[in-house]
């Protein structure tokens, strides 16, 4: 199976020591975000976990944790690292972008280019961050990341209720602007051998030449693992998205980047309050066991298809 760490929060950036402790312990307990007392226990063992998937804006804290011994070495890994050109008024606690780029390079050297993907998302437009700004910024970053990744995933801002609450006044990117951005990003990507993908966007963008297959797809995961995977049918997040939504061990309302476009945080004060209950030694990301918890052991098995295929 595949364990995801980054659909609800940024574990490498803010909870690296906790994550390493869970890997050493060999399991993690995860609360259902819609039913607090319903808890799932996941084994963190390479015999049943085929791939660990990370989504982060700052991989360096987790990289620092691995300097004294790489407990992740037995696991296959795939990293999505988001690097965008926005300032601190949009991404208050995201480190300097060129620092993140250096961390990205470390990851790529440690793993391989097919296991590290650059995310340039979400794309939104404003007076400051107009189309020309994005094209120039993307070009500078692509030049820095050339040779360290073969893929960049872009997506355009979605106006979820949480986003509208925390980022008032922002609008969706018009489709014609989306096409211009895709066309220009593809040209830049070709110069640096970086393929451009969209995720969760209109299939009509395919006419620009962009790859619309999505980011967390079977093909992407199989490439990272190095063999075919027999992945059971899973729910889709939305009809435009072909991504495989695997088990996630994070928790909403815990990410302290406080990006204004974030869909995983509802309120800054809730995040601050929740993180006061974080204990790096707990089996839970936030808090600990409670008397009325109902713990279910996840049905885990390897999805690897190792036998030779007959043609």
CATH number for the domain that contains residue 44: 3.20.20
Omega within 30 of 0 (cis) for the link into 122: yes
189 within domain boundaries:
yes
308 pLDDT more than 60: no
Give the model's pLDDT for residue 236: 60
311 pLDDT more than 70: no
Sign of the Cα torsion 25, 27, 32, 33 reads positive
Tokens of 11: 């574990």
Considering its fold, how many domains does the chain have in total?
Answer: 1
- Phi first, then psi, for residue 297 (nearest 5°) are -80, 125
68 within domain boundaries:
yes
Q: What is the dihedral of CA 23, 40, 116, 306, to 10 degrees?
A: 90
Query: Distance (Å, rounded) from C-alpha 101 to C-alpha 213?
Result: 25
154 within domain boundaries:
yes
Query: Distance (Å, rounded) from C-alpha 154 to C-alpha 12?
Result: 21
301 within domain boundaries:
yes
51 within domain boundaries:
yes
Tens of pLDDT, residue by residue over 137-156, are 999 999 999 999 999 999 99
Query: Distance (Å, rounded) from C-alpha 186 to C-alpha 193?
Result: 10
Are residues 61 and 12 in contact, defined by beta-carbon separation less than 8 angstroms? yes
Query: Distance (Å, rounded) from C-alpha 23 to C-alpha 45?
Result: 8
Give the model's pLDDT for residue 41: 98
Are residues 253 and 275 in contact, defined by beta-carbon separation less than 8 angstroms? no
**Over residues 205-220, mean pLDDT:** 92
Residue labelled with tokens 């790529």 = 108
310 within domain boundaries:
no
What predicted TM-score, i.e. pTM, was given to this entire model?
0.94
237 pLDDT more than 80: no
**More confident call, 27 vs 232:** 27
Assign 239 a pLDDT band (cuts: 50, 70, 90).
low
102 within domain boundaries:
yes
Residue labelled with tokens 């890994």 = 77
311 within domain boundaries:
no
Q: Which residues form the domain of 127?
A: 2-305
Tens of pLDDT, residue by residue over 28-57, are 999 999 999 999 999 999 999 999 999 999
* Alpha-carbon Rg for the chain in angstroms: 19
């Amino acid at each position: 199976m595949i364990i995801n760490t980054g659909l609800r929060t940024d574990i490498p950036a803010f909870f690296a020591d906790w994550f390493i402790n869970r890997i050493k312990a060999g399991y993690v307990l995860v609360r259902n975000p819609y039913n607090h007392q319903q808890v799932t226990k996941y084994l963190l063992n390479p015999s049943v976990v085929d791939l660990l998937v990370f989504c982060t804006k700052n991989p360096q804290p987790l990289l620092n944790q691995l300097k004294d011994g790489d407990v992740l070495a037995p696991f296959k890994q795939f990293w999505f690292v988001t690097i965008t050109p926005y300032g601190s008024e949009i991404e208050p606690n995201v480190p300097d972008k060129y620092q993140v780029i250096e961390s990205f390079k470390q990851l790529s050297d440690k793993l391989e280019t097919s296991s590290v993907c650059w995310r340039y998302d979400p794309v939104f437009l404003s007076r400051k961050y107009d189309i020309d700004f994005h094209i120039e910024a993307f070009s500078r970053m692509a030049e820095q990341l050339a040779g360290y990744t073969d893929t960049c995933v872009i997506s355009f801002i979605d106006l979820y209720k949480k986003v509208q609450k925390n980022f008032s006044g922002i609008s969706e990117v018009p489709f014609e602007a989306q096409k211009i951005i895709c066309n220009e990003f593809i040209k830049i990507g070709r110069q640096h051998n970086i393929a451009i993908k969209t995720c969760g966007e209109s299939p009509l963008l395919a006419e620009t030449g962009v790859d619309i297959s999505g980011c967390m797809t079977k093909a992407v995961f199989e490439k990272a693992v190095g063999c075919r995977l027999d992945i059971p049918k899973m729910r889709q997040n939305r009809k435009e998205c072909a991504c495989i939504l695997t088990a996630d061990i994070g928790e909403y309302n815990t990410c302290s980047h406080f990006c204004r476009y974030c869909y995983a945080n509802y309120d800054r004060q809730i995040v601050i309050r929740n993180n006061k209950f974080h204990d790096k030694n707990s089996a839970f990301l936030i808090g600990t066991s409670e008397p009325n918890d109902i713990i279910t052991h996840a049905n885990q098995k390897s999805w690897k298809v190792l036998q030779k295929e007959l043609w």
